Amino acid sequence: MKAYERLLKYVVVRTPSDETSDTVPSSKCQFDLAGILVDELKELGVEAHVDEQCYVYGKIPATPGYESSPKIGFIAHMDTVSDFCDHEIVPVLHPDYDGKDLVLGESGRTLEVSAFPHLPELKGRTLITTDGTTVLGADDKAGIAEIMTMIERINEENIPHGPIRVAFTPDEEIGTGASHFNVPEFDADFGYTLDGDTEGEIQYENFNACKADFEITGFSVHPGSSKDTMINASLVACEINNMLPGCETPRGTEGYEGFYHLVSMSGDVGKAELHYFLRDHDANMFESRQKTLRLIEKDLNEKWGEGTVKLTITQQYKNMSTIIKDCMHLIENAKTACENANVPAQILPIRGGTDGCQLSFKGLPCPNLGTGGHAYHGPYEHITVEGMDLVTDVVIEIVKLYAEQN
């Protein structure tokens, strides 16, 4: 079975995670896909199971004579974002795509070159989209499909390999995909997540990340008699945001540039809240951003009265480059694998995080590879049949390279 055929099978099983839930997994529907994957792994001869927290684990013993090769793991996540995932997902194939604007069904949406300038590079390929009303779910079911297809191919083509481990995780999209990952049970020396974009992407530098929540307590009195008395919490919230550099937002930054991201805001005269994500690749700059918010809290409490502004900062994840720098063979072998598969390698920073960054700090060094997908987390998500085939080729080449190190 081709990787794209598996993708078409997986994406119709809706698996949105739920950030408001306090269960693990955050949504029971993720078990639906987990069960399918365990059955499929067993059909491929893999020792596999799903645990009570919806983590799927599989083990493939080494080809005789290759038992001393490094144990390499491949990981992808089963959940999708909850946005645009509230009804049936209908994947659509567009053979021999012309590289131009593409109308997505009757949704009123168009996949436009002006918004996605890489589209002409996909000319001649078979493009996979939805009908324009939902996410596709290639993030990250494409990664799952490519790992499964790799397993099938090494079996069918009798490709010698060392010990291989696979895992499929829940709740990556809400930041907890690695929280309950059993690293000792996984039993790998190193790993790769398949959760990136364009085929050939190799990523080992991610953001340092935290969330910052402001709670503003105002003083509400009748507006007709509030001279020098009222403290409007919503206006203080606006003041906080205006004290941040306007160009350091996701829209205004790229590459290694960090940002303050206002995720949501709410309030009235008496109470208001601001919720931010802070991101930066550089650890010192990351700390500086947090100090800026603490200074804003201090200054506004001095201006409006102690207790008006309360800031809570919650750490989320760190830059895994501090771990990967001690095992750069993961990056060099991935580059060589791309070369062997005739795929241009692209070493790019992750403007976000993956399960791999958290797993790296839990003792499993785990850079990220592209799956061939684009425009994740919305109705414009798309991927190509050919791109998925190339990613599968790259993964197989990685398996071969580590088999040689026995």
Q: What is the pTM of this model?
A: 0.90
Q: Output the six-digit token pair for 121.
A: 């590079």
Q: Which residues contact 9 (CB under 8 A, 6 or more apart)?
A: 36
Mean pLDDT of 102-112: 96
pLDDT given at position 406: 77
Q: How many CB atoms lie within 10 A of CB 160?
A: 16
Cβ neighbourhood burial of 100 (10 Å; 0-12, 13-18, 19+): exposed
Question: 133: pLDDT confidence band, cut at 50, 70 and 90?
Answer: very high
Question: 354: pLDDT confidence band, cut at 50, 70 and 90?
Answer: confident
Q: Output the six-digit token pair for 303.
A: 């201006």
What one-character DSSP code corresponds to residue 28? T
Instruction: Examine the residue annotation and report whether 47 is marked as an active-site residue of this protein.
Output: no
Residues 145-157: tens digit of each pLDDT: 999 999 999 999 9
pLDDT given at position 352: 82
R_g of the chain, CA atoms, integer Å: 23
DSSP states of 368-397: EEE-SEESTTSTT-EEEHHHHHHHHHHHHH
**Residue where the block lists tokens 């481990």:** 165
The residue type of 214 is F
pLDDT given at position 138: 97
Mean pLDDT of 90-104: 97
Give the separation between CA 138 and CA 8, rounded to whole angstroms. 9
pLDDT given at position 175: 85
Q: Output the six-digit token pair for 311.
A: 């800031």
The catalytic position among 139, 152, 172, 393 is 172
Residue of 234, 205, 202, 229 whose CA lies nearest to 217: 234
Are the C-beta atoms of 53 and 180 separated by less than 8 Å?
yes
Give the separation between CA 326 and CA 24, rounded to whole angstroms. 33
Question: 57: pLDDT confidence band, cut at 50, 70 and 90?
Answer: very high
Percentage with pLDDT > 90 across the chain: 96
Residue 233 in 3-state DSSP? Answer: helix
Q: Taking all residues of the chain, what is their mean pLDDT, rounded to a whole number? A: 96
**Residue where the block lists tokens 């013993």:** 61
Question: 366: pLDDT confidence band, cut at 50, 70 and 90?
Answer: very high
**Dihedral sign (CA 207, 144, 136, 116):** positive
The catalytic position among 18, 40, 79, 280 is 79
Spell 23-35 as b/e; 16+ CB within 10 A means b.
eebbbebbbebbe
The order of strands in the sheet holding 92-94 is 92-94, 127-129, 382-384, 373-374
SS3 content of the chain, % helix, strand, coil (to 5): 35, 25, 45
What region, left, alpha or beta, does residue 63 occupy, with left being phi > 0 and alpha being psi -120 to 50 degrees? beta
User: Is the pLDDT assigned to residue 113 strictly greater than 80?
Assistant: yes
Question: 58: pLDDT confidence band, cut at 50, 70 and 90?
Answer: very high
User: Is the pLDDT assigned to residue 95 strictly greater than 80?
Assistant: yes
- Please report, in angstroms and rounded to a whole number, the separation of the first and last CA atoms in the chain: 30
Q: Which residues pair with 111 in a beta bridge?
A: 102
Are the C-beta atoms of 48 and 36 separated by less than 8 Å?
no
Per DSSP (E only), the strands in 229-318 are 259-267, 271-280, 309-317
Mean pLDDT of 166-172: 97
Residues 266-312: tens digit of each pLDDT: 999 999 999 999 999 999 999 999 999 999 999 999 999 999 999 99
Q: Which residues pair with 267 in a beta bridge?
A: 272
Residues 12-45: tens digit of each pLDDT: 999 999 989 999 999 999 999 999 999 999 999 9
pLDDT given at position 316: 87
Instruction: Examine the residue annotation and report whether 205 is marked as an active-site residue of this protein.
Output: no
Give the separation between CA 52 and CA 30, rounded to whole angstroms. 12
